[in-house]
Amino acid sequence: MGNKLKLYRCIFLKENKDYIIGKDIFNSKIYNIKKSEETSEFKIGTDNSFYAVEEENGILFKKSILEVVNYNEVLKMAK
């Protein structure tokens, strides 16, 4: 998990039942951010930085799904 962990900064565009759709402000890539306790403070129309693990889903049309990691867990991994 530690080697896949990455810092992201996204603008949140819209949300559905399971995901928040976000756009990376640096490379304009679209991500599906899996909803969880860590994403409860994310608001549509704002941007935020967060650590997440990325996974690619789909055979023909690849979809990038981010699973947000609690910042305290990131600090524990760094020690």
The CATH number linked to 38 is 2.40.50.330
Structure tokens at 29: 């890539």
User: Which residue segment(s) compose the domain that 19 sits in?
Assistant: 5-78
As separate numbers, helices (DSSP H) first and strands (DSSP E) second, the chain gives 1, 5
- The dihedral of CA 53, 58, 60, 66: what is its sign? negative
pLDDT tens for the chain, residues 1 to 79? 556 889 999 999 999 999 999 999 999 999 999 999 999 999 999 999 999 999 988 888 888 999 999 988 888 877 7
DSSP 3-state of 76: helix
This prediction has a pTM of: 0.85
> Quick one: which of 34, 35, 36 has its CA closest to 66?
34
Report the number of distinct structural domains present in the chain.
1
Which pLDDT value is given to residue 8? Answer: 96
Which pLDDT value is given to residue 62? Answer: 83
Which pLDDT value is given to residue 3? Answer: 60
Which pLDDT value is given to residue 60? Answer: 82
